[in-house]
Protein backbone atom coordinates (compact mmCIF):
# COMPACT_ATOMS: atom_id res chain seq x y z
CA UNK A 1 0.00 0.00 0.00
CA UNK A 2 1.32 3.41 -0.99
CA UNK A 3 0.79 6.63 0.96
CA UNK A 4 0.02 9.51 -1.38
CA UNK A 5 0.10 13.20 -0.43
CA UNK A 6 -2.41 15.42 -2.25
CA UNK A 7 -2.42 19.20 -1.87
CA UNK A 8 -5.80 20.65 -2.81
CA UNK A 9 -7.87 23.81 -2.97
CA UNK A 10 -6.80 27.47 -2.79
CA UNK A 11 -4.87 29.28 -0.10
CA UNK A 12 -5.65 32.75 1.29
CA UNK A 13 -3.25 35.61 1.95
CA UNK A 14 -4.85 38.19 4.21
CA UNK A 15 -4.40 41.98 3.84
CA UNK A 16 -6.30 42.58 7.09
CA UNK A 17 -8.71 40.50 9.24
CA UNK A 18 -11.34 40.53 6.46
CA UNK A 19 -9.81 40.91 2.98
CA UNK A 20 -7.58 38.40 1.23
CA UNK A 21 -6.07 37.38 -2.06
CA UNK A 22 -7.13 33.98 -3.39
CA UNK A 23 -8.41 32.10 -6.46
CA UNK A 24 -11.44 30.00 -7.31
CA UNK A 25 -9.89 26.53 -6.83
CA UNK A 26 -12.70 24.28 -5.54
CA UNK A 27 -10.77 21.21 -4.37
CA UNK A 28 -12.74 18.98 -6.79
CA UNK A 29 -9.67 17.67 -8.65
CA UNK A 30 -7.95 16.95 -5.33
CA UNK A 31 -11.02 15.08 -4.13
CA UNK A 32 -11.24 13.12 -7.41
CA UNK A 33 -7.59 12.07 -7.09
CA UNK A 34 -8.10 11.07 -3.43
CA UNK A 35 -11.05 8.90 -4.50
CA UNK A 36 -8.94 7.24 -7.22
CA UNK A 37 -6.12 6.60 -4.71
CA UNK A 38 -8.50 5.14 -2.10
CA UNK A 39 -10.39 2.99 -4.63
CA UNK A 40 -7.08 1.46 -5.68
CA UNK A 41 -6.44 0.50 -2.04
CA UNK A 42 -3.88 3.19 -1.19
CA UNK A 43 -3.74 5.91 1.47
CA UNK A 44 -4.71 9.50 0.61
CA UNK A 45 -3.27 12.28 2.78
CA UNK A 46 -4.85 15.61 1.82
CA UNK A 47 -3.58 19.07 2.79
CA UNK A 48 -6.35 21.44 1.76
CA UNK A 49 -7.12 25.13 1.80
CA UNK A 50 -10.68 26.33 2.58
CA UNK A 51 -13.14 24.54 0.28
CA UNK A 52 -16.87 23.84 0.41
CA UNK A 53 -16.67 20.26 -0.89
CA UNK A 54 -16.31 17.18 1.33
CA UNK A 55 -13.31 14.89 0.97
CA UNK A 56 -13.75 11.09 1.16
CA UNK A 57 -14.11 9.96 4.80
CA UNK A 58 -11.25 7.45 4.31
CA UNK A 59 -8.81 10.29 3.54
CA UNK A 60 -6.59 11.87 6.19
CA UNK A 61 -7.35 15.60 5.81
CA UNK A 62 -5.16 18.44 7.13
CA UNK A 63 -6.86 21.84 6.71
CA UNK A 64 -4.72 24.93 6.17
CA UNK A 65 -5.33 28.59 5.31
CA UNK A 66 -2.19 30.24 3.88
CA UNK A 67 0.58 29.11 1.55
CA UNK A 68 2.99 29.20 4.52
CA UNK A 69 0.67 26.79 6.40
CA UNK A 70 0.56 24.55 3.32
CA UNK A 71 4.35 24.42 3.17
CA UNK A 72 4.72 23.66 6.87
CA UNK A 73 2.16 20.84 6.77
CA UNK A 74 3.67 19.33 3.61
CA UNK A 75 7.22 19.47 5.00
CA UNK A 76 6.00 17.44 7.95
CA UNK A 77 3.98 14.88 5.93
CA UNK A 78 6.02 14.44 2.74
CA UNK A 79 8.93 12.35 4.13
CA UNK A 80 6.51 9.53 5.09
CA UNK A 81 4.76 9.53 1.71
CA UNK A 82 5.62 7.63 -1.47
CA UNK A 83 4.60 10.35 -3.87
CA UNK A 84 2.46 13.43 -4.21
CA UNK A 85 0.00 15.24 -6.41
CA UNK A 86 0.37 19.02 -6.07
CA UNK A 87 -3.16 19.98 -7.11
CA UNK A 88 -3.58 22.94 -4.74
CA UNK A 89 -3.63 26.41 -6.25
CA UNK A 90 -1.60 28.23 -3.58
CA UNK A 91 -1.82 31.99 -3.62
CA UNK A 92 1.70 32.85 -4.74
CA UNK A 93 1.79 36.48 -3.62
CA UNK A 94 1.14 37.88 -0.17
CA UNK A 95 1.05 41.39 1.32
CA UNK A 96 4.35 42.19 3.03
CA UNK A 97 2.35 42.71 6.19
CA UNK A 98 -1.18 41.88 7.30
CA UNK A 99 -2.94 44.77 9.07
CA UNK A 100 -4.15 43.86 12.57
CA UNK A 101 -7.37 45.86 12.10
CA UNK A 102 -9.66 46.17 9.10
CA UNK A 103 -8.31 48.85 6.76
CA UNK A 104 -10.72 51.77 6.55
CA UNK A 105 -11.56 53.43 3.28
CA UNK A 106 -10.05 56.88 3.07
CA UNK A 107 -11.36 58.00 -0.32
CA UNK A 108 -7.96 57.59 -1.94
CA UNK A 109 -6.12 54.58 -3.35
CA UNK A 110 -4.08 51.97 -1.59
CA UNK A 111 -0.69 50.62 -2.60
CA UNK A 112 -0.28 46.98 -1.73
CA UNK A 113 3.27 45.70 -1.71
CA UNK A 114 3.22 42.00 -2.45
CA UNK A 115 6.00 39.46 -2.16
CA UNK A 116 6.10 35.91 -3.47
CA UNK A 117 5.08 33.12 -1.14
CA UNK A 118 7.26 30.00 -0.97
CA UNK A 119 6.98 27.57 -3.89
CA UNK A 120 5.75 24.52 -1.98
CA UNK A 121 6.35 21.96 -4.72
CA UNK A 122 9.83 23.33 -5.48
CA UNK A 123 10.72 23.02 -1.77
CA UNK A 124 9.49 19.42 -1.68
CA UNK A 125 11.22 18.76 -5.02
CA UNK A 126 14.50 19.89 -3.49
CA UNK A 127 14.26 17.43 -0.58
CA UNK A 128 12.63 14.45 -2.26
CA UNK A 129 14.27 11.05 -1.86
CA UNK A 130 12.37 8.09 -3.29
CA UNK A 131 9.17 10.09 -3.85
CA UNK A 132 7.62 10.96 -7.19
CA UNK A 133 6.02 14.40 -7.60
CA UNK A 134 3.22 15.22 -9.99
CA UNK A 135 2.76 18.99 -10.18
CA UNK A 136 -0.08 20.94 -11.79
CA UNK A 137 0.30 24.09 -13.88
CA UNK A 138 -2.50 26.48 -14.74
CA UNK A 139 -1.41 28.66 -17.63
CA UNK A 140 -3.23 31.14 -19.87
CA UNK A 141 -0.52 31.61 -22.53
CA UNK A 142 2.59 29.76 -23.89
CA UNK A 143 1.13 26.91 -21.92
CA UNK A 144 3.43 23.99 -22.76
CA UNK A 145 6.67 25.96 -22.50
CA UNK A 146 5.68 27.46 -19.17
CA UNK A 147 4.49 24.11 -17.86
CA UNK A 148 7.78 22.48 -18.76
CA UNK A 149 9.73 25.32 -17.14
CA UNK A 150 7.68 24.79 -13.99
CA UNK A 151 8.36 21.06 -14.05
CA UNK A 152 12.11 21.78 -14.13
CA UNK A 153 12.03 24.54 -11.52
CA UNK A 154 10.01 22.37 -9.16
CA UNK A 155 12.09 19.23 -9.81
CA UNK A 156 8.81 17.40 -10.48
CA UNK A 157 8.55 14.08 -12.33
CA UNK A 158 5.42 14.93 -14.30
CA UNK A 159 3.44 18.09 -14.79
CA UNK A 160 -0.27 18.28 -15.52
CA UNK A 161 -1.15 21.32 -17.61
CA UNK A 162 -4.62 22.83 -17.44
CA UNK A 163 -6.29 26.15 -18.18
CA UNK A 164 -8.37 28.56 -16.08
CA UNK A 165 -11.61 26.90 -17.26
CA UNK A 166 -10.79 24.01 -14.92
CA UNK A 167 -11.09 26.27 -11.84
CA UNK A 168 -14.33 25.75 -9.93
CA UNK A 169 -15.60 23.36 -12.63
CA UNK A 170 -16.65 19.69 -12.62
CA UNK A 171 -14.95 19.19 -16.02
CA UNK A 172 -11.32 19.53 -17.03
CA UNK A 173 -8.94 19.07 -19.93
CA UNK A 174 -5.30 18.34 -19.18
CA UNK A 175 -2.02 17.35 -20.81
CA UNK A 176 0.44 15.23 -18.84
CA UNK A 177 4.02 16.23 -19.68
CA UNK A 178 7.26 14.48 -18.69
CA UNK A 179 10.72 16.04 -18.03
CA UNK A 180 11.69 15.46 -21.66
CA UNK A 181 8.73 17.58 -22.77
CA UNK A 182 6.77 14.64 -24.19
CA UNK A 183 2.99 14.75 -23.83
CA UNK A 184 2.24 11.35 -22.25
CA UNK A 185 -1.53 11.81 -22.22
CA UNK A 186 -4.25 14.25 -23.21
CA UNK A 187 -7.20 13.68 -20.91
CA UNK A 188 -10.59 15.38 -21.04
CA UNK A 189 -13.92 14.96 -19.27
CA UNK A 190 -15.30 14.80 -15.75
CA UNK A 191 -12.66 15.43 -13.10
CA UNK A 192 -13.42 12.00 -11.59
CA UNK A 193 -12.67 10.26 -14.91
CA UNK A 194 -9.59 12.37 -15.62
CA UNK A 195 -8.30 11.68 -12.08
CA UNK A 196 -8.77 7.93 -12.49
CA UNK A 197 -6.87 7.93 -15.80
CA UNK A 198 -4.14 10.16 -14.39
CA UNK A 199 -3.69 7.90 -11.37
CA UNK A 200 -3.51 4.82 -13.64
CA UNK A 201 -0.76 6.56 -15.63
CA UNK A 202 1.11 7.43 -12.42
CA UNK A 203 0.95 3.81 -11.24
CA UNK A 204 2.51 2.70 -14.53
CA UNK A 205 5.19 5.42 -14.47
CA UNK A 206 6.18 4.97 -10.83
CA UNK A 207 5.43 1.28 -10.37
CA UNK A 208 8.22 0.96 -7.76
CA UNK A 209 6.15 3.07 -5.34
CA UNK A 210 3.25 0.69 -5.56
CA UNK A 211 5.23 -2.41 -4.71
CA UNK A 212 4.84 -4.10 -8.06
CA UNK A 213 5.91 -3.83 -11.68
CA UNK A 214 2.53 -2.57 -12.79
CA UNK A 215 -0.73 -1.89 -10.98
Closest among 96, 74, 68 to 12, alpha carbons compared: 68
113 is catalytic: no
53 neighbors 27 (Cβ within 8 angstroms): yes
CB of 19 to its own copies, least distance (A): 5
What distance in Å separates the CA atoms of residue 45 and residue 43, rounded to the nearest whole number? 7
| DSSP 8-state class, residue 79 | G
By CB under 8 A, residue 91 contacts its own copies: yes
By CB under 8 A, residue 193 contacts its own copies: no
By CB under 8 A, residue 17 contacts its own copies: yes
Among 139, 190, 201, 205, binds its own copies (CB under 8 A): 139
By CB under 8 A, residue 97 contacts its own copies: no
CB of 205 to its own copies, least distance (A): 27
How many amino acids of this chain bind its own copies (CB under 8 A)? 39
Closest among 87, 89, 76, 84 to 43, alpha carbons compared: 84
Angle between helix axes 28-39 and 191-205 (nearest 10 degrees) is 50
Using CB under 8 A, list all residues that contact its own copies. Answer: 15-24, 50, 52, 89, 91-93, 96, 101-102, 104-105, 107-116, 119, 138-141, 146, 164, 167
Amino acid sequence: MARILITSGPTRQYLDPVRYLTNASSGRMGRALAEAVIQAGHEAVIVSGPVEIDYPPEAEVHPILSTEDLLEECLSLFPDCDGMFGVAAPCDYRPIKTAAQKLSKTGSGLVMNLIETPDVIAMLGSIKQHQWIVAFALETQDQRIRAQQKLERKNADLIVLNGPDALDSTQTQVEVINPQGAVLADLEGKKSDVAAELFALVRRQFAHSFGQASA
